[in-house]
């Protein structure tokens, strides 16, 4: 598995043919470039850089990326420095298909064998080590696309989910089939398949980590409902602590208290979610003709100069620079 750079968008044309053709073999420099366009910024090293070869095929469906990676031995690191320079709020789910991999995050270490799955968070440092040639499929999606309590995520990362037991026996083969048929992830049917994959993963995580009991905490449950409501209204120019509190039938003071419990503010949550939507639109080929200022305004940033400053503060690049890098 391997990667490097922000939200999901197709890898460079010179790096892989994509899901409609066979990806050609990549050397280490090309592979680094390809993953830098497909994931979040990472350090990628290999024990034999000159002999290194990899193939990468990717499909992107409504902000969720599915990437089939076949590669020689290498190590991937998501360092604190990279997180600080280029933040990205995504979950990644690895399904080991061939060979073995070692995932480290949050003080845990887990070995993944064929059929096993594990989730990890791009907002926290992690390391992936592959000592021999392997194949894996990686699903990357924004935090808000996977409906699990974000504050619970640190208990879930770098935990092996057996693909041969329980719900894993259903989810793992389904995802593996998608990995070998990425060309089918297009049009309305492809969108439904992608959503089915996300729904199955949510069900698997909820079952394996007993999220129902965790969500029974009334304050956490209330906060999650409010977050869901906010995510549905990110394009509403009237979205504010006052309108959010009114929608939840609570006081503004209580609203701020719920977010304070998780070390957040209402404003920072809304701003982060809106910036993520802007990033996805900026890197979406179907929105390539939409002016940058229009995308910002669509998600609540009415002043173009302010949007550019806030976006650069979050991602280290201006909106225009991100679009040029992603779409050429």
Complete DSSP assignment for 243-302: HHHHHHTS-HHHHHHHHHHTT--HHHHHHHHHHHHHHHHHT-GGGTTS-HHHHHHHTT--
Of 151 and 9, the one with more pLDDT: 151
Q: What's residue 214's pLDDT?
A: 62
Sheet holding 54-61, edge to edge: 54-61, 64-71, 134-142, 90-98, 117-121
% of the chain exceeding 70 in pLDDT: 90
Q: What's residue 79's pLDDT?
A: 87
List of residues 6+ apart from 144 with CB closer than 8 A: 227, 231, 273, 276
Alpha carbons 109 and 226: distance in angstroms, whole number: 34
Q: What's residue 213's pLDDT?
A: 66
Q: What's residue 22's pLDDT?
A: 46
If one counts every other C-beta atom within 10 angstroms of the C-beta of residue 208, the result is 16
Which residue stretches of the chain are H helix?
28-36, 80-85, 153-156, 168-179, 187-208, 211-215, 218-232, 241-248, 252-261, 266-282, 292-298, 304-315, 319-327
Averaged over 72-77, what is the pLDDT?
95
Of 13 and 160, the one with more pLDDT: 160
List of residues 6+ apart from 206 with CB closer than 8 A: 148, 212
Contact 73, 34 (CB under 8 A): no
Alpha carbons 210 and 216: distance in angstroms, whole number: 11
Q: What is the pTM of this model?
A: 0.65
Helix axes 218-232, 252-261, angle to 10 degrees: 110
pLDDT digits (tens, 9 = 90+) for 84-131: 877 778 999 999 999 999 999 988 999 999 999 999 999 889 999 999
Of 73 and 321, the one with more pLDDT: 73
Contact 43, 64 (CB under 8 A): no
Q: Which domains does the chain have, with CATH numbers?
A: 28-213 (2.60.120.10), 218-327 (1.10.10.60)
pLDDT digits (tens, 9 = 90+) for 186-236: 877 888 899 899 999 999 998 888 766 665 678 878 888 898 899 899 999
DSSP 8-class letter at 90: E
Nearest to 292 by CA among 255, 320, 271: 320
pLDDT digits (tens, 9 = 90+) for 230-258: 989 999 989 999 999 999 999 999 999 99
Element spanning 135, H or E: strand 134-142
Positive or negative: CA dihedral 105, 147, 96, 70: negative
Banded model confidence at residue 19, pLDDT cuts 50, 70, 90 = very low
Q: What's residue 137's pLDDT?
A: 97
Sheet holding 108-112, edge to edge: 43-45, 74-78, 126-130, 101-105, 108-112
Alpha carbons 206 and 204: distance in angstroms, whole number: 6
Q: What's residue 298's pLDDT?
A: 95
Alpha carbons 26 and 320: distance in angstroms, whole number: 29
Averaged over 293-298, what is the pLDDT?
96
Contact 54, 31 (CB under 8 A): yes
Contact 130, 71 (CB under 8 A): yes
User: Scanning the structure block, which residue is given the tokens 């329980």?
Assistant: 166
């Amino acid at each position: 598995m391997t990667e490097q750079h922000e939200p999901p968008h197709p890898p460079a044309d010179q790096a892989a043919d994509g899901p409609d053709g066979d990806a050609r073999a990549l050397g280490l420099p090309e592979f680094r470039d390809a993953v830098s366009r497909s994931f979040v910024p990472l350090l990628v090293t290999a024990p034999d850089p000159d002999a290194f070869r990899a193939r990468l095929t990717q499909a992107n469906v409504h902000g969720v990326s599915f990437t089939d990676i076949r590669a020689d031995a290498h190590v991937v690191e998501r360092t604190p420095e990279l997180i600080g320079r280029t933040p990205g709020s995504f979950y990644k789910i690895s399904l080991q298909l061939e060979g073995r991999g070692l995932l480290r995050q949050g003080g845990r270490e887990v070995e993944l064998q064929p059929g096993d799955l594990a989730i990890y968070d791009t907002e926290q440092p992690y390391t992936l080590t592959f000592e021999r040639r392997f194949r894996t499929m990686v699903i990357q999606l924004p935090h808000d696309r996977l409906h699990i309590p974000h504050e619970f995520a640190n208990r879930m990362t770098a935990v092996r989910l057996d693909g041969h037991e329980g719900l894993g026996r259903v989810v793992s083969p389904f995802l593996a089939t998608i990995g070998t048929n990425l060309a089918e992830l297009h049009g309305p049917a492809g969108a439904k398949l992608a959503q089915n994959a996300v729904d199955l993963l949510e069900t698997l995580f909820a079952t394996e980590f007993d999220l129902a009991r965790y969500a029974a905490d009334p304050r956490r449950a209330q906060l999650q409902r409010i977050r869901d409501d906010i995510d549905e209204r990110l394009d509403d120019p009237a979205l504010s602590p006052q309108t959010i509190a009114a929608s939840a039938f609570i006081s503004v003071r209580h609203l701020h208290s719920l977010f304070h419990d998780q070390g957040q503010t209402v404003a920072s949550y809304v701003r982060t979610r809106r910036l993520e939507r802007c990033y996805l639109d900026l890197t979406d080929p179907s929105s390539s003709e939409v002016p940058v200022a229009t995308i910002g305004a669509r998600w609540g940033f009415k002043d173009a100069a302010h949007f550019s400053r806030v976006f650069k503060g979050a991602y280290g690049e201006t909106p225009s620079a991100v679009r040029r890098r992603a779409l050429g």
